[in-house]
A = this chain, B = another copy of it.
Amino acid sequence: MATDYVHGYSAGETARLADQATSLTALLHAGTRYPAGSRVLEAGCAVGAQTVILAANSPRASFVSLDLSAASLAEARQRVARAALANVSFCQGDIYRLPFPPGHFDHIFVSFVLEHLPDPAAALAALQGVLRPGGSITAIEGDHGSAYFHPDDARARRAVQCLIELQARAGGDSLIGRRLYPLLVQAGYRDVTVSPRMVYVDASRPDLVDGFTRKTFTAMVEGVGGQAVGQGLMDAADWAAGLAGLHRAAEDDGTFCYTFFKAEARR
C-alpha cells in the first residue's frame, strides 16, 4: 500500500530531516538502548537520520532498516557508511507486507512513519507479526495539533491547520502523537506506556529557537506553502502573514511549544 509523503523528497527536505534528528536526539532517543546481540527492525528509516543515532547508541545490536523508497535507502546507506557503522543492513520493502519470518525481531523502532500511513493500525499489526513474543516496540511521533506559540496568531494557527489538512488529504494523520496509546492497545500490544516529550522554546534557548522553531517546525509549514495556496486552503497573503506569525514566535519575546510522543509496548 503506497502513500503520498506530504513533505516530499527534495534535497532541502533531506537537510531538514537531518537537522531535526540532530537537535532532537537527546529528547527523543533518551532511554532507547538495545542489548548486545539483539535484532532490531527500524521500520521506515527514510534517509537514515535516526538510523545513525540508533546504531551508534546500541553498537552491539544488529539493525535492519527498512524503507519503501530506494532513493531514501541509498541516502541512508551513505549516511551509515560515513558514520562508519557496521551494525546496520538495509532492506527495501513495504511496512504492510514485511519480508521477514514471524517473530524474527527482538525489538522494533518506528519513528515519524505512522503519521504518513493511511492505516497505521494495520502497520502495527504487521509489525507485531515479525516481533517475537515479549519483544518491544518503540514508536515516536509528533503531533502538529500540539503546536502553539506566543504571540498567539490566528493566521499562523490556520497555516498549521493547512499542514494537518494536507497530511490528511495525503492519507496520513499528523495528530497521531496523542493517538499512539489507543492505537497500540487496539493492535494488541501490552504494557503500553506513552511519554510525551515536549519542546518548549523561549529566548533563553537560542539553539532551539533556531534549530526547532525556525528550522524544524516553521520550515516544515513553509514547505507545504505551494500546496496550501495551490489547493485553495489559504490565499497567498494570509499564508504569508501566517508564516510571519510563526517567525514572530522566534523573536526575543516569543515562545513556541510542540510535543512529541514516545510510546513503548511489548508483544
Question: Residues of A at under 8 Å CB distance from B?
Answer: 143, 145-146, 148-150, 152, 175, 178-179, 181-182, 185-186, 192-196, 198, 200, 202-204, 252-255, 257, 259
Q: Known contacts being A182-B253, A253-B185, A255-B182, is A175 close to B200, with CB within 8 Å? A: no
A178 touches B257 (CB 8 A): yes
Q: A194-B255, A196-B257 are in contact. List 5 more A-B contacts (CB 8 A).
A: A148-B175, A152-B175, A182-B254, A196-B198, A257-B259
Q: Known contacts being A192-B204, A203-B181, is A198 close to B259, with CB within 8 Å? A: yes
B198 touches A178 (CB 8 A): no
Complex Cα gap A62–B44 (Å): 57
Complex Cα gap A140–B146 (Å): 20
Q: What's the nearest-Cβ distance from chain B to residue A205, in Å?
A: 10
B202 touches A181 (CB 8 A): yes
B150 touches A178 (CB 8 A): yes
B-side contacts of A193, CB under 8 Å: 204
Top 7 closest A-B pairs, CB basis?
Answer: A182-B253, A181-B202, A150-B178, A196-B200, A150-B179, A178-B255, A198-B198
11 pairs from A and B in contact (CB 8 Å cutoff): A145-B152, A150-B178, A150-B182, A179-B255, A181-B255, A182-B202, A182-B253, A185-B253, A195-B200, A198-B198, A198-B259
- Scoring A145, A146, A178, A186 by chain B CB atoms within 10 A of each residue's CB, the highest score goes to A178
Q: Which residue of B lies closest to A175 (CB)?
A: B152
B-side contacts of A175, CB under 8 Å: 148, 150, 152
Q: Known contacts being A253-B186, A254-B182, is A194 close to B202, with CB within 8 Å? A: yes
Complex Cα gap A227–B254 (Å): 32
Q: Which residue of B lies closest to A192 (CB)?
A: B204
B-side contacts of A149, CB under 8 Å: 178
